[in-house]
Structure 1
Amino acid sequence: MAPPATVAPLFEPIQLGPLTLRNRIFMSALTRNRSVPTNVPNAVNLEYYQQRAKSAGLIITEGVLISQQGSEWPHAPGIWSKEQVAAWKKITDAVHKEGSFIYAQLWHLGRVSHPDAPEQKAAGVPVYAPSSNRCTRWKVQIPSGPPWICYGEYLSELIALHQLTYIQPTAIDDPTTLLDLFEKAAENAKEAGFDGVELHGANGYLIHQFLDSTSNTRTDSWGGSVANRAKFGLLALERLIKVFGKDRVSVKLTPCGGYNDMGMPLDETLETYSYFISEADKLGIVYIDLVRYSDALDPILDGKKRAIQHDVIDSYASLIKHAKVFSNSGWTPEEAAAGVKDGQVEGIFFGMLWINHPDVASRLEHEKPLDQSD
């Protein structure tokens, strides 16, 4: 039985480096905070990924912390220890058994690491960032009592609405020490059996913080000009390529900003991301995920939204000459299929749909509803 014509382009196989993906319906990184009681993936994580591997063309893990220092919430998984590597190996084996592929999204939070998070305290080091200027964000409450399972499921417990917190980070003296962490994390991801890695360059985390002039106010060779601000992210990609090879390395970007107190003026945004995307593409990485504007990722902070709304596909996709152009955020299946058909994009990451339905691709193929009815 052929898939419905409205979504048929999503079921065309695609070559991603050495991998042949069975469809273009990909699973975006979704932070679930289920690695209880510590930061080591467990049986719940295993079941979660195995269920979704039955139909996804490609899975990107939830953000995987590259060090104990770079944490924000309890129970997010890491990849800095042998125990974590062994636990992830069980997950990658299960995903492969179901016929899918899985990339690790390598994540360091920089200035939005929560000072009160247990892992941040246990690390015994400051909250590091490119610069020491503070970050404004919603107040995240670290709950007491029984371990909590999922950030989204317990939102009312975690966020005190209308209360802001101001995180004051410490400027990192030598950013290459953070690049070393990315390289080691890639080595661990390879040992754990991941098919590749995605550099988390989005949502106001460390890579994004170096790119954005509002969070990076350095006056040395790591800040100031567009090329200097782009350097950290590009060198991070080079470190990942060193381990995995360029055809298994990718990056996720949110040029519109907004989330975690990010956003430059439009002209500076266009100049910065045009440069970074062009240079990243020259490295030969396998895909670039361009995340569209999302109102959900543009909270009101100090009475205003921060995002710089613009069409990220129209603005940047034409700059990508070698990598696959993937996208994320708010795509309906029908819109995604049309985007693939007309050549706007080559594959789409869905997020929320995979939370509700472990079998998104199968449902689309067999015209089952995307709700909780069956």
Structure 2
Amino acid sequence: MDISKEIVTKAKEINGHIDAYLATGIENKKLGDAMRHYPAAGGKRMRPILAQVVAEAIGKAGDKAIPFGCGIELIHNFTLVHDDVMDNDLMRRGIPSVHALYDVPTAIIAGDALFARAFEIVAETDVEPAKLPSLMKLAARSIFLVAEGQQDDMDFENIPAEELKEEDYMRMVWKKTAVLFECAAEGGAIIGGGSPEQIEKMKEYAHMLGIGFQIWDDVLALTGNEEILGKPVGNDIRNGKRTIIALHALHNLKADDPRKKTLLAALGNADATEEQIKAAIEAIQESIDYAKNASVECANKAKAALSCIADGPEKEFLSGLVDFAVGRSV
């Protein structure tokens, strides 16, 4: 199975539904354009694809999971809009960020509107009436945890790295990134009529997938191609992000190691030059390799959780999705 092609095919279907959901019911043109700006830019749509494939794997209910998955995708996009405002990132997916193209107030409102539209869509999910409250609560709880994760991420920038542990990073990443993967897979399992064991195992699968995805994202942020990434390489260092890479380097490089001095000169330095950023990345290659290995460990645990579903194309896809998430180049 060619996972990349499968993702493109499935994402195209999801895009059609998202376009339809955002095409009507928005009277203010500026707000509508701002809401559609990120969704229209495309994306891998891993969250709605997860919901759809898990529901299909468990109960042949993939089509029924589409509204729920699209709702989760719009939630993801609303968090991106607000994240870019908070981080003052001017580019996203190779295009201007919403607040850069429009303005900060419009970006905030657009994020809020995406949030509201997401729940309208989730409410359309074709499930037994008794299950709908569980799906709504799952989505709402996930958003709360994402908000906590984002706050942790910002707070970490003002906490000396020596006071932070890898466990702190993992918990932050779980909330900020993995939670929406969990939400998609757990929701898909519920829609598919999964057993309690299957629901829990699919949540575990998505948990490890999400964490592995984010760790790999941290790696790409320092090693990727800037043109492909659509944002400056090394911004995590300039912004002082306490990634697993930065924490590992700071905790394992000795105080008199010149590599640590090089990293500290750039970490959290908004005025760091391109030369300083490049030197800092070169100084922490061992920690980048450590993060790559940690991502692979997450991938292995995610695959192990797939034992709860029967062999078939859906299981093959979910396994391949793990390899894609921790090995992608963009």
Provide TM-score, normalisation by structure 1: 0.30
Query: Relative to total residues, which structure has the larger strand share, 1 or 2?
Result: 1
Query: Relative to total residues, which structure has the larger helix share, 1 or 2?
Result: 2
